[in-house]
A and B are shown apart, each in its own frame.
Chain A
Amino acid sequence: MKPQGRTFETMSWPQRFLVLAVLAWFCLLILGPAAALLRRALAPGLGAFVDALTQPDALESLLLTGKITLIVTICNTIFGIAMALVLVRQRFWGHRLMDAMLDMPFAVSPIIAGLMLVILYGPRSSLGGWLDSIGIPIVYHLPGMILAGLFVTLPLVVRSIVPILEEVGSDQEEVASTLGAGPWVTFCRVTFPTIRWGIAYGAAMVVARCLGEFGALLVVSGNVIGRTQTATLYVHEQVESFEPYGAFAMSTVLAGVSFVLLIGLELLQNHIRRRQFADDKNEISIAGPIKPTRRH
């Protein structure tokens, strides 16, 4: 495909204009605010930056965010793979409803998401009251915050695997199972290798979204310093305080982790792609699905 590799020198004027216009828009909208954040966070020097982050409250909140993110990512990755397989490979009553429902978390305002967790699992509700009485408090404790994280990130892994599964079809899986491979072996040998980059990308998105979640956590957490205050809630509190520097430092860390994760994933993918498919004539997308169409 010729146009894909076109460099700036070989472009026509309208093409250059388009590229420059997109770059300008991108700088104004995304790069500008990001650079402003970085400048504010690093302006007083690296020492102050580290100081702000090693405040006990800041550390506790980072640790809590880490905990929530870890658990949410594991759960939603495992179930994301399962849900994608069910969605693509099975047809059953309620299938389309499930498909539509999976996008709901994108549609639900985080504030509403928090509100409904409080209504269902809050200690004054019947379900929440019962759970509380057997020693599993949900809302205003860690489990509620994990539920909020699970809710807002539910579609991410599914939605990054489904297109790949649909694209590759089930031929290879069927061949494997005709040859006597069990479902687990088929999954490990055939399905998993084709979707692993989709999984990695989806999981990275879960991590990023989870680190930055605010609205839902604001409602379900109670914001107890050192107990249910996550990094974003810490940011919120710092923004309201007289010295908002801590907010900038913490936000830089949160955005930085997500950024490093996403760009690292892309670099790794590029690297592997170059090594494995060096002689492949097929075009392979960078962030999108990799088509394993080669057969030896």
Chain B
Amino acid sequence: MLQRVGLKLKNRILFRFRQTIFNLATALIIFNSGCEPSDRLSQSAPDRLTLGAFSVTREVFHNGLIPAFKQKWLVKTGRKIEFEESYLASGALSRAINGGFDADVALFSLDPDVEALVSSGLVDKSWNAGQNAGHVVRSLVVIGHRPGNPKQIDDWSDLTKPDVSVVYADPKTSGGARWNLLGVAASGFWPVTVKANPANADRNTAAKLLADVQQQVTVMDSSGRQSLATFLRLTGDAIITYENDPVQYQRITGQPLPYVIPSRTIWIEMPAVEIAGVTKKNGRSDIAKAFLNFLESAEARPIWSQFGFRPIDGDGNVEGLPPVPAGVVTIKEFGGWKKAREDIFGNDGLWTRSFINKGLAQSESKP
């Protein structure tokens, strides 16, 4: 009896053992095939380009620009091109590329994310030497609200009303949120009647406005896109976001997502660069340059604007989008990114201080 059981067991174990070996072998085969794309070996391999872009540009690339460029490439060179796409938060993308993610071309939401790659030698120092300082497209910081505008939100000051709850992303993790808060700060720094420059910024008003708006915030998601998703789940009365986000949303879903452009706001200028450190190795530099040129070309312009982005040159007005108000500033009026970061988000920055003051007030009122 015992022997029989033992024999049966042995057979079973042997069977399992064989199976395990088989599984391991399959795993190894899958593993290897996963590491080496098999079509690399074939002669008529299509061209390839790896694109890294920050998350809110997913729709415009995936549904608009990439199909158009594929078409153009086929006509121009007679060759097919295939894209690998990765959409990450701007900071995460920069970190991933710095850590070895082999994107050939990358679009970021703000310049410091490119500077990080310049300092590690992956991007050419002259990336911002061109006419538009390396930027390919821009958008505006706007306030999205509920249909019918029940809380009557027209400008930044309306966000400080006690019954309005506000949603925006965390500026620590989201480059977009940094732009958003710069929009708020701009309105505090310079009344609409004043011509903005770094010297005449009203720090006290800006500090108060930033603190008062922050006071009304319910959720700070980790990315701008996440923040919009939260707003669409009916949290909050207002969302501070990029203009292209509500436009893309309306275009794709057909649902209304109204927004207002505040009288004083800021141009979000997005840089696109070739990751020279990568393209030098894989020889895709020409394709990368062609794609970058395409992004700024006249052909790409209507695609960008369909998805809510505005051209980098001229006054920014395009068909189908509301007119640009006169009080729009750029990062230059803040004295550049380095100064703006320090002034607003640094350890002694206006936005950062608002928490510490509030935290002190709270801990004093609590026993």
Contact = CB atoms under 8 A, between A and B. Distances in A.
B1 A296 contact: yes
Contact of A222 (B1, B31, B101): B101
Given A74-B24, A142-B31, A223 B86 contact: yes
A33 interface: no
B282 interface: no
Contact of A240 (B13, B23, B27, B223): B223
Contact of A67 (B10, B31, B87, B249): B31
Contacts of B253: 242-243
Contacts of B223: 240
A181 to B, nearest CB: 11
Of residues A124, A128, A142, A242, which shows the largest number of chain B Cβ atoms within 10 Å of its Cβ? A242
B96 A222 contact: yes
A124 B27 contact: no
B226 A74 contact: no
Contacts of B98: 124
Given A142-B31, A240-B225, A242-B252, A224 B85 contact: yes
A140 B34 contact: no
Nearest to B120: A124
B229 A74 contact: no
A260 interface: no
The 10 closest A-B pairs by CB, nearest first: A123-B100, A240-B225, A222-B101, A224-B86, A140-B101, A222-B96, A122-B99, A188-B13, A225-B85, A71-B27
A118 B98 CA distance: 11
19 contacts: A67-B34, A122-B99, A124-B98, A140-B96, A142-B35, A188-B10, A189-B10, A193-B9, A223-B86, A224-B84, A224-B101, A225-B84, A225-B86, A240-B55, A240-B223, A241-B229, A242-B229, A242-B232, A244-B229
B75 interface: no
A142 B325 CA distance: 49
Interface string A126-151: 00100010000101111000000000
A175 interface: no
B27 A227 contact: no
Nearest to A218: B92
A105 interface: no
B58 A139 contact: no
B312 interface: no
Interface size class of A (residues with CB under 8 A): 20 to 34
Given A74-B24, A296-B1, A241 B58 contact: yes
B15 to A, nearest CB: 12
Nearest to B226: A240
Given A193-B9, A225-B86, A240-B226, A137 B100 contact: yes
Contact of A74 (B23, B34, B84): B23
Contacts of A222: 86, 88, 96, 101
B27 A70 contact: yes
Interface in A225-275: 225-227, 237, 239-244
B330 interface: no
A192 interface: yes
Contacts of B84: 224-227
A224 B50 contact: yes
B20 interface: yes
A237 B85 CA distance: 12
A224 B253 CA distance: 25
Interface string B217-248: 00000010110010010000000000000001
A280 B96 CA distance: 59
A226 B48 CA distance: 14
Contact of B100 (A71, A139, A224, A243): A139
B99 A118 contact: yes
A141 B99 contact: no
Given A74-B23, A224-B86, 13 more contacts: A70-B30, A71-B27, A74-B20, A139-B100, A140-B96, A140-B102, A141-B35, A189-B9, A222-B88, A223-B96, A242-B232, A242-B248, A243-B253
